[in-house]
A and B are shown apart, each in its own frame.
Chain A
Amino acid sequence: MADNRQFFKMQSGDKYTLIIIILYTIITFLFVSSSATFFKMAIFGWLMGLFMFIAPIVSLIFMKFEYNQLDTQKKQSTNI
């Protein structure tokens, strides 16, 4: 059956990673004009610093999950 969708299909793990990264960015930028601080530094600064760890770690977790599933499926199809 021909695939008539305009966009290529994205893996669900990749979709979640993308959504989390974009949502986190939007939420963080809501604080860009905020004067709220934590240990005397703007919350925006802390959120951005944290983002540097969160973004790759979220991506790694979903990727690991996706590849584990893929490997299990491959193993099962080989056994059959």
Chain B
Amino acid sequence: MKTIEFTLTLIYLIVCIGIGIWANRRVKGSTDDYWVAGRQIGIFTNSWAMMAALASGGSVLGVMGLAYANGIPYTFSMFAGAAAGFPLAAVLVAKQLRNLQIYTVTDFFRFRYKNKAIEALVPIIIVLAMGTYIIAQMKAAGVTAVYLLGIPYPTAITITAVVFILYVSIGGMWAVTLTDIIQGILMVSMVLILAIVLFFNFGGVTSVLTQAVDISPNFGAIAALSPASYLGAFVVWFVAACCTPHLVMRVFTAKNARAARYSLNWAVVIYAFMIVFGVLAIASAGHIVLPDLQDPDTLFLKLIEMYLPRVIGGFAVAAVMAAVMSTTDALLLAAGSAIAHDIYAKFINPNASQKTLVRVGLISNIVIGVVALLFAFNPPKLLTMFYTAAVGLLGSSIFVPVVMGIWWKKSTTQGALWSIIIGTVSYLYLTWFSSMPALTPILVSLPLAFLVHVIASLLTQPVETQVIDRLQELHME
């Protein structure tokens, strides 16, 4: 057991639980406070919280491993998709969704399309995709704890899971927001500190890069993968911020539409600094000092041990935990809200009081967390690819009806329903049964969903004029 690292991680976990207990007092049985933090979050706080929700264990451990294995161009094309996707969300969906004063993505479908099949289908897709994402994040926490704290993998994921299930369940969105600020600042500072130390050691940005390419020529080249793989990786993340619930829910928490739109962009500026400088320094240095690394996902951790003093290394362990937990808590809340708000409150008990709904939300979060934990005992191998595939599912099924529903007046219920079905089925079929390269199925499923949406909408009855009038107001507010 490494005492310094363990103590700092323990302090960090206790702080998270403390925030959860504080947030629980603030929530007081109000669904507004539990699911969307009372819609009171300003630009600074929301920017950090959004960045933390986006930057998962994959953005700290996985991104370095991905760059080390597949080269910087491929990695940047995937992460630039996310970075460009946030401004896209600021332009296409943020104002309208925030002005609608809703809790979940499914609420938008309920308002726009008024169809029970869609209202049941969307939360199911969300729970499946978010659940998959949570399992990948738990693996990242486990890998970190095993490597740097020296505790067994099952113990590591159980401790981490218990902590975030606890603070998310009792503190809801307030706990997620407050912990995300600490977690965001912690992970950005640790990645940048390591990057600066490495730049200093290897003579700067271009020097470390050219040394790395001299050792591994493919590191800076576009060699190993087809252009479609690059495009697929980009598109999956490009459309994600418009429809991925754990990111969209942060739009609902903003105090107004202006704050929501500004925070989406500031979040990405912070994220860009962490990813670009982190990858250039850490993945490059990895090729120089560890040219034959067997498990690329451990690169960040190995360099921490080699280049940072133990106390700072302890904070770095906490930073990786923070990266994992800041995304997982948001995912858990999104999945929990899909069950409690979209399924229980709408289908099972429509007359439930706010207090009951908060209680059901709490139980849903615990159940989803425990189920994900059970799956995480036998985790997937490719961390970033695994959860990116889950995000691709959401993009294929939900992006088109959300964006078209906001902007196209002729978008109809049948158009939305069929685009969700075709988008989901084609994505899953191509992912499991075709020989298409990883992450490329979205290049077929997304245009297919778009085409089906347009054709079905043109062939069917338009939605009520009141809905279009309300949409017009949302665009104007």
Residues of A bordering B, CB below 8 Å: 3, 5-10, 14, 17-18, 21, 24-25, 29, 32-35, 37, 39-42, 44-45, 48-49, 51-53, 55-60, 63, 67
Interface residues of B, count at CB 8 A: 48
A-B CB pair tally, cutoff 8 Å: 131
Residue of chain A at shortest CB distance from B280: A49
CB pair A52–B272 under 8 Å, yes or no, is yes
Shortest distance between the CB of B416 and any CB in chain A (Å) = 16
**Residue among A8, A18, A48 with most chain B CB within 10 A:** A48
One of B220, B272, B410 near A42 (C-beta < 8 A): B220
Known: A45-B76, A48-B76, A55-B83. A21 touches B272 (CB 8 A): no
One of B72, B80, B275, B471 near A41 (C-beta < 8 A): B72
Shortest distance between the CB of A46 and any CB in chain B (Å) = 8
Shortest distance between the CB of B332 and any CB in chain A (Å) = 27
Residue of chain B at shortest CB distance from A70: B258
B262 close to A (CB within 8 Å): yes
Shortest distance between the CB of B265 and any CB in chain A (Å) = 4
A59 to B87, CA, bound (A): 6
Shortest distance between the CB of A76 and any CB in chain B (Å) = 18
Shortest distance between the CB of B411 and any CB in chain A (Å) = 10
In the complex, what residues of B have CB within 8 A of residue A34's CB?
222
Q: Which of B22-30, B147-155, B205-213, B431-439 contacts A (4 or more CB under 8 A)?
A: B205-213
B451 close to A (CB within 8 Å): no
Contact with A along B266-284 (1 / 0, CB 8 A): 1011011001100010000
Contact with A along B73-93 (1 / 0, CB 8 A): 100110110011011101110
One of A17, A25, A42, A67 near B73 (C-beta < 8 A): A42
Shortest distance between the CB of A13 and any CB in chain B (Å) = 9
In the complex, what residues of B have CB within 8 A of residue A5's CB?
409
One of B91, B222, B234, B280 near A59 (C-beta < 8 A): B91
Known: A32-B227, A42-B73, A45-B220. A55 touches B213 (CB 8 A): no
Known: A8-B471, A14-B91, A57-B269. A51 touches B80 (CB 8 A): yes
- Taking A45-B222, A53-B83, A56-B265 as given, write out 20 further A-B residue pairs in contact, using a Cβ cutoff of 8 Å, ordered by the A residue number: A5-B409, A6-B409, A14-B91, A18-B88, A29-B227, A29-B231, A34-B222, A39-B206, A40-B209, A40-B214, A40-B220, A41-B209, A41-B213, A51-B76, A52-B268, A53-B269, A53-B276, A59-B265, A60-B266, A63-B262
